[in-house]
Amino acid sequence: MTQFRNPVLPGSHPDPSVCRAGPDYYLVTSTFEYFPGLPIYHSRDLVHWRPAGHVLDRPSQLPLQGVRASGGLYAPTIRHHDGVFYVVCTLVGGTRESGNFVVTATDPEGPWSEPHWLPEAPGFDPSLFFDDDGRAWWTATREVRDGRTEVYLREFDVRSLSLVGEEHVLFRGAMHDAVWAEAPHLYKVDGRYVLLCAEGGTDFEHSVVVAFADEVTGPYRGSKLNPVLTHRHLGRSYPVAATGHADLVCTQHGQWYAVLLATRPYGGYYYNLGRETFLVPVSWENGGPVFSPGTGRLESSYPVPDLLVHPWSEPLQTDDFDAPELDAAWMFLRTPEEEFWSLTERPGHPRLRVRPESITELVTPSVVVRRQQHQNFHASCVLEFEPAGPAEAAGMVLLQNNDNHFRLLLGAGREVTLVRRAGGREEVLGKTQVAEGTVRLGFEAVGQDHQALVASGSGEWQLLGESFDGRVLSTPVAGGFTGVHIGLYATGDGAPSDTWADFDSFTYRALGEAPR
């Protein structure tokens, strides 16, 4: 292997942060309203990443109940110092707890501590910096007015996990009338302090900017080369957009790389996969970082880092649910306060309890989802379900948020219905009857052209309704900060129930895309 392909983490993996501990690299990304929160990925070569658990995997750690779509966990930072891993993050819009917090672990695969909330730390997008004199520093962003922000710094006491000492305002943006100077990360390179920030918002105008200081508290001066990375000048037809929110890491061999987010629009300026994690080489000239030397653009491929290539086993295309716990790819919508699923009552079949909650509400419905990670994909499930009431239904969802999604559900009378919900308004796109017994349900997409599939037992797939446009699931249409999630769902649509839906398997695979 001489080249690697971007993105290194496809699908909704925004706001990446990375650290190195010896030969091992660990990366976290935002998860917003999904539980468990903040996936940990592990790599030995910066290219191949394996799931290594989640930072917040206990309900006590993550109060997401009632959080709005694209609320919840924003922009974590992971750091390693003196044998301890630290993650700092912001919970936005919480109905129980909100604000900035820190969690710690001696093993990045867990267990992680309960959150230590920091009411003295305003703003969002926090980061930690451990200086070579033993002191630690906290940086974060706060809004001043109308998207104008400022980056501030305070000392961080690692013993009490609290902010101490005087506050210093470091930066208000590189560009004239800059908005959303955020995601600040501090580094020390060749004796000088380097402040790396995102700027311009998280969509098309996104960028990376840098400032420098001789003292950690400043003053910081922006580089004459700012922005040091952006794609906004390349136009909306360019295949990669919205580059920004970078974090730097130096390998054990002295090479520098950045992880950052970007989008891959398709079918026009629409990106159903959300913001994904990319890797880019970085060199240093005159004390400043040069992203993607030689091109200045985030490329689809680069030479592999000077590290021993270390691939992991590829995930199976079909999950037969034979393990005692759900695979790390699966997530819940907000924090479950009761176990509405079971992998033990009928081994090999995840059971979802039919409950009144619906994915159209800001609740925790009976749904488990995983990220869409390819523009062309097939996703399907095998379902056994006998509704006991007229409103009971179970099947699959293509979920952007509560007001923008597609539902393919088996309901009363053995009727399978395809429903589009766009902007909160619903339309039935197709119906069909299926025979008693097992039913298979599926979605396929080639670009923005989607179709729903139905089969009775082991029979042939049948198209349900006409092909439909998936752009309603893209962030430019639906809003928010997440990509599409695909999953299994059961609901009584407001009515209580004692019924369960049994899913025998779930298959997800890419269609017609080159292997990674």
**DSSP code at position 414:** G
Q: What is the pLDDT of residue 180?
A: 96
- Mark 101-135 as b/e (b = at least 16 C-beta within 10 Å): bbbebeebebebeebeebeebebbbbbbbbeeeee
pLDDT band at 513 (very low <50, low <70, confident <90, very high): low
Residue 93 CA to chain centroid, in angstroms? 17
pLDDT of 33-68, one tens digit each?
Answer: 999 999 999 999 999 999 999 999 999 999 999 999
List the strands of the sheet with 72-81, edge to edge.
Answer: 72-81, 84-92, 99-105, 116-117
- Determine the Cα angle at 293 with ends 290 and 296, to 5°: 80
- Residue 516 clears pLDDT 50, i.e. is over it: no
Q: How far is CA 146 from CA 150, 174, 180, in A?
A: 12, 17, 9
Concatenated DSSP letters of 137-195:
EEEEEEEEETTEEEEEEEEEETTTTEEEEEEEEEES-SSTT----EEEEEEEETTEEEE
Q: Residues 129-156: what's their mean pLDDT?
A: 96
Strand (E) or helix (H) holding 478: helix 475-478
What's the per-residue H, E or C state across 365-411? CEEEEEECCCCEEEEEEEEECCCCCCCCEEEEEEEEECCEEEEEEEE
Provide the pairing of β-strand 318-319 with 301-303. Answer: unpaired
Q: Quick one: DSSP state of residue 413? A: G
pLDDT tens for 432-489 read 999 999 999 999 999 999 999 999 998 999 999 999 999 999 999 999 999 999 999 9
For 317-370, how does the pLDDT look when each residue is reduced to its tens digit (9 = 90+)? Answer: 999 999 999 999 999 999 999 999 999 999 999 999 999 999 999 999 999 999
pLDDT tens digit sequence for 201-220: 999 999 999 999 999 999 99
Average pLDDT estimate for 106-114: 97
pLDDT of amino acid 458: 87
pLDDT at 431 over 70: yes
Averaged pLDDT of the chain: 96
Rounded Cα–Cα distance for residues 470 and 304 (Å)? 34
Alpha carbon distance 309, 215 (integer Å) = 38
Which residues are known to be catalytic?
15, 182
Domains of the chain with CATH codes: 3-303 (2.115.10.20), 318-510 (2.60.120.200)
Q: Where are the beta strands (DSSP E) in 202-300?
A: 207-213, 221-222, 229-230, 241-250, 256-263, 276-285, 288-291
- Region 488-495 average pLDDT: 96
Instruction: Tell whether the model's pLDDT for residue 514 goes beyond 80.
Output: no
Q: For residue 512, what pLDDT is reported?
A: 84
Of 170, 181, 183, 99, the closest CA to residue 148 belongs to: 181
Q: Mean pLDDT, to the nearest integer, of 244-265? A: 98
pLDDT average, residue stretch 166-176: 96
241's tokens: 């957009």
- Please state the rounded mean pLDDT for residues 271-300: 97
Q: What percent of the chain has pLDDT over 70?
A: 99
Distance between CA 479 and CA 472 in Å, rounded? 10
